[in-house]
Structure 1
Amino acid sequence: METFFKYLAAETAFNLLRYFVIAGMMFYLFYKVFAGRFTKNKIQPKRFADKKDFLREILHSAMSSVILAMVAIFAFTPWIKPHTFIYRNLDEYPIWWIPLSVGLALIVHDTYFYWMHRILHHPKLFNITHLLHHKSTNPSPWTAYSFHVLEAFAEGGVVLVLVFIMPMHPLSLALFTIVALMINVYGHLGYEIMPKGFRKSFLFEILNSSTYHNLHHAKFKGNYSLYFRVWDRVMGTEHPDYVKQYDIIQERRFGKE
């Protein structure tokens, strides 16, 4: 038990450091240093979060960091680890498996998140769980981990799924959580920063944008996926105003073609 708490403390510290560095850096750049320069990039220019919102988001994100750490460490306990595909010796798999496993983990996570997210929007669950996250109708980078306790456990559950379905080295899991948070912070950034050419590339048809997830926070429905547009398009849950809203923002940034 002493070992468990030691690892829990270390994982919590890693989660908090990751959150404050990534979310904090993006907040500082877009909401402080370059706020005037990125005025045209603001997705909801007439709505602004205030200090109370930021403090609420940081508080709940800090608590979520502890819970996410608990779930991750649970996967390494003597009761769980022997039944997983976790490996510690890098020689057990080719080194290229590390980046590939991270990429596959993101695909699995997107599927996991989509259906978990849909469930949390069920009327019987929304008010007691997901509503807290949706208090951020105009999200900021601090919103990334702002979850109800129950939702935080559900969010962290993806780690258990991953270690039970494919080989995962601790390094792969660490890289996965870092990349996932970076994308999560971008999704909640409140500013659209995709380049002009993104709109006409094939990637636009596949990847989410900050506008994509921001619209979900503004409308409370549609655009349930995290990284890709695939599940929303397959299930018919993509918000009908997404492309139009994205084009409006990009026209404001770059002008009419």
Structure 2
Amino acid sequence: MFFSAAAAGVGSHYLSNLVLLTVRYLVFAGVAYVFFWVWRREKWHHRRIQPKFPERKHIDTEIKYSMLTCLIFAMVGAGIFVAKQHGYTLIYNKISDYGWLYMGFSLLVAIVAHDTYFYWTHRFMHIPAVFRHVHRVHHLSHNPSPWASFSFHPLEAVIEACIVPLLVFVLPLHPLTLGVFMMYQMGMNVLGHLGYEPYPQHFLRSRWGRLHNTSTHHNMHHQLVKCNYGLYFNWWDRLMGTNHAKYPERFEKAAGQK
């Protein structure tokens, strides 16, 4: 009886998590796609990073793999739910336990940790044997659309999802902090696969632009493969010398051409 109730609770959490993940993906990627690729397609064409558009079959493939990724991400979420129920995570429910200041601090720590995790797992997935069997699926999108945001091989989806269990096992996090973190990573993921450069031409010359990545940065990674591995920030690419030499030039062209 207890087992059945527990299984029902996990199943219910899995389904709600799956719905939330799928809706979030469809809303973020869908709004970006409709705005840039449909409604403003001609008006913003001068900001296309790669002038040509991918064939419809490539976009269908992106959506198919993204739906599979949502299934896997929901499983990881259900696993975290079970771990929390048994007291294995550091997720806390009362904001007063740590205060608002800590919530902001923990969000920044989670973002920086994810950026570091992503860079090095990304480099790992570019080892030829791993790339061929795992990461190649994501690189089927040589000219990505916003729908490519979750387009991963199942094994890559597991690797991508593992940052959340790692965080909740070592860092006290409030569910609200986790929610904001998920929204941020989804927004930046869509930006990286936007296909357009929304930032102004002077962005890379600003203090924030020297730290933060752009749509051009990740688009070049899809097109050229062996460069620009970072997610949110540019410091790991700078430190490891993996920024493409023509990144500033490509950005200025996409952001400034008329």
TM range (shorter): over 0.9
Q: Within the alignment, does 1:8 sit opposite 2:17 as a pair? A: no
**Cα deviation code 1:54-109 (max 9, x no counterpart):** 11111111110111121122122148852321111222111233333222211110
Tell me the secondary structure at the aligned position of residue 75 of structure 1.
helix
Structure 1 residue aligned with 2:153: 148
Structure 2 residue aligned with 1:52: 57
Q: Within the alignment, does 1:23 sit opposite 2:3 as a pair? A: no
* 1:97 equivalent among 97, 102, 112: 102
* 2:92 equivalent among 81, 87, 92: 87
Question: Residue type of the partner of 1:99?
Answer: G
Q: Within the alignment, does 1:133 sit opposite 2:169 as a pair? A: no
Q: Within the alignment, does 1:164 sit opposite 2:169 as a pair? A: yes
Q: Note the C-alpha offset of 1:170.
A: 1.5
The TM-score with structure 1 as length reference comes to 0.94
Q: Within the alignment, does 1:211 sit opposite 2:216 as a pair? A: yes
Q: Distance in 2 between matches of 1:108 and 1:39?
A: 35
Alignment size in residue pairs? 252
Which ranges of structure 1 fall in alignment gaps of 5 or more residues? Answer: none
Contact in 1 for aligned 2:201/2:256 (Cα 8 Å): no
* 1:189 equivalent among 186, 194, 202: 194
Tell me the secondary structure at the aligned position of residue 12 of structure 1.
helix
Q: Distance in 1 between matches of 2:27 and 2:58?
A: 19
**Cα deviation code 1:149-182 (max 9, x no counterpart):** 0000000000011112211111211111111000
Contact in 2 for aligned 1:74/1:80 (Cα 8 Å): no
Structure 1 residue aligned with 2:4: none
The TM-score with structure 2 as length reference comes to 0.93
Question: Residue type of the partner of 2:181?
Answer: F
Q: Note the C-alpha offset of 1:217.
A: 0.2
Q: Within the alignment, does 1:235 sit opposite 2:240 as a pair? A: yes
Does the C-alpha gap of structure 1 residues 28 and 77 become closer, same or farther in structure 2, counting only changes over 3 Å?
A: same
Moved more, 162-171 or 25-34: 162-171
Question: Residue type of the partner of 1:163?
Answer: V
- The Cα RMSD (Å) is 1.4
Q: Distance in 1 between matches of 2:151 and 2:104?
A: 28
Q: Within the alignment, does 1:39 sit opposite 2:45 as a pair? A: yes
Moved more, 8-17 or 49-58: 49-58
Contact in 1 for aligned 2:143/2:219 (Cα 8 Å): yes
Q: Within the alignment, does 1:224 sit opposite 2:229 as a pair? A: yes
Moved more, 196-205 or 135-144: 196-205
Structure 2 residue aligned with 1:108: 113
Identity, % of aligned positions: 38
Which ranges of structure 2 fall in alignment gaps of 5 or more residues? Answer: 1-6
